[in-house]
Amino acid sequence: MNEPALEKFIRYAKIDTQSKDDSDTYPSTKKQFDLLNLLLKELKDLGLKDARIDKYGYVTAMLPGNLPPSQNARGKVPVVGFVAHVDTSPSASGANVKPQIIRAYPGGDITLPGDPSVVIRESENPELKRNIGRPIVTSDGTTLLGADDKAGCAIIMTALQILISSPTLLHGDIRVAFTPDEEVGAGTKFFDIKGFGADFAYTVDGDTPGELNKETFSANLAVITVHGRNIHPGSAKNIMVNSLRAMADIVARMPKDVAPETTEGYEPYIHPHIIEGEEARSTLKILLRDFNTAGLDVLKRKLESIIAEVREIHPRARIEMQVIEQYRNMKDYMGKDPRVLDCMWEATKRAGLDPVWVPIRGGTDGSRLTEKGLPTPNLFTGGQNYHGPTEWLSVDGMNTSVETVVNLAQIWVEKSSA
């Protein structure tokens, strides 16, 4: 009942839950059920009798409020939800994760033991300096760590544990949910918002302690397909149409000043993400991101202009582009009740941090939940460098997030009873 968040996280991190692009199943990988079912068991062990998992893998439960009837007359205190996802990114292996606990980070670069070529550099990680002398967790360098978002899972479970074991901490009804497939953009595809029953919610899926998120990118996916013609290279003259050459010319023309590597803050980007193919056919997936949703059309037109130029160079290749909507900036759908953000800010301050609003240069499950009518801003976890082997986690940051979640539950009571 009193297991620290760190021990929970280490246990969860060792379970391979990597999701997969272009899968025809939901979740995209069956192995995500290994952690989902473990979380279900742990929720039931905490005494949450309505804990359940549905056919899509969504794990949900409710911690009933402990308010005197007079304090919550006519349901004045909203039902608040907390959400985290179990899957890890397809970008790096999530199998055989070996978490490395550095009990007192001494400062400087960290060479990871499983692959000495993988180094977490202090110059690239300002948060490392704030953790000198404090515990952090890394992978061994051969896999990602999985703090995105298993730290969020551990934070929510630990906060529930604290609230259950401390009946003097007053709170309304609290709903929790653990989702699959967030990393492949499908975390809320079948999520039943009405059945979840929360009035407001928070994803616990951020990074730097104190940073709060009420804005995300708006996102589209562009898929360019180049059709060529293959023939044996020995007799290819004037016959072969190599789709790879045309695709290379497309990539080479993408603006280098509108890329993740060269932008920050509110700047948009075009990001070639996954490329596959051979001479006869190749495909390229491109992430289009802009905080201004109308700006996505500007990015699309840039690609259309590039394609038109490459068609002239490769007239025998057939080039197609499809644009798929992914998610939208949560700020545009956050709603008019200021408490959802005010409570978040106050909870962070009470945890001893100086909160700051930071736009997410990405998205969360909260992006789609907010768009669908459930305002769901995002809380920090303490993790850094997501989606790769240099990922690391501040243990203090994770514990402060636990404290923030517990504070949130109480502040909603205060705000609603005032």
Cis peptide leading into residue 27 (ω within 30°): yes
Angle at 407 between CA 182 and CA 216, to 5 degrees: 35
User: Which H helix or E strand runs over 177?
Assistant: strand 174-179
Q: Considering only CA atoms, which of 99, 93, 101, 91 is closest in space to residue 143?
A: 93
* Residue among 182, 207, 215, 365 flagged as catalytic: 182
- Report yes or no: 356 and 344 within 8 Å, Cβ to Cβ: no
For residues 73 and 163, what is the distance between their CA atoms, to the nearest angstrom? 21
- Report yes or no: 219 and 326 within 8 Å, Cβ to Cβ: yes
- Report yes or no: 413 and 172 within 8 Å, Cβ to Cβ: yes
Instruction: Report the DSSP pairing between strands 378-379 and 383-384.
Output: unpaired
Q: Is 151 left (phi over 0), alpha (psi -120 to 50) or beta?
A: alpha
Q: Phi and psi (nearest 5°) for 123?
A: -65, -25
Instruction: Report the DSSP pairing between strands 100-102 and 136-138.
Output: antiparallel
Q: Considering only CA atoms, which of 394, 363, 408, 405 is closest in space to residue 208?
A: 394
Question: Cβ atoms within 10 A of the Cβ of 392, count?
Answer: 25
Q: Considering only CA atoms, which of 285, 88, 83, 91 is closest in space to residue 183?
A: 88
What domains sit in the chain, N to C, each tagged with a CATH number? 5-215+329-417 (3.40.630.10), 218-326 (3.30.70.360)
What's the pTM value of the predicted model, to 2 decimals?
0.93
- Looking at residue 123, its pLDDT comes to 96
Q: Phi and psi (nearest 5°) for 166?
A: -125, 80
Q: Considering only CA atoms, which of 288, 130, 304 is closest in space to residue 219?
A: 288
- Looking at residue 9, its pLDDT comes to 98
Can you point out the beta strands (E) in 134-279?
Answer: 136-138, 174-179, 200-204, 211-212, 218-227, 269-277
Q: Phi and psi (nearest 5°) for 137?
A: -125, 135
Give yes or no: 87 in active site. Answer: yes
Residue with tokens 């609603």: 416
pLDDT digits (tens, 9 = 90+) for 313-336: 999 999 999 999 999 999 999 998
Instruction: Report the DSSP pairing between strands 378-379 and 52-53.
Output: unpaired
For residues 114 and 120, what is the distance between their CA atoms, to the nearest angstrom? 13
Written as one letter, the residue type at 288 is L
pLDDT digits (tens, 9 = 90+) for 197-225: 999 999 999 999 999 999 999 999 999 99
Give yes or no: 182 in active site. Answer: yes
- Looking at residue 217, its pLDDT comes to 96
- Looking at residue 72, its pLDDT comes to 64
- Below-70 pLDDT ranges, the chain: 1, 71-75, 418
- Looking at residue 1, its pLDDT comes to 60
Question: Cβ atoms within 10 A of the Cβ of 134, count?
Answer: 14
* Residue among 16, 42, 87, 148 flagged as catalytic: 87
- Looking at residue 108, its pLDDT comes to 97
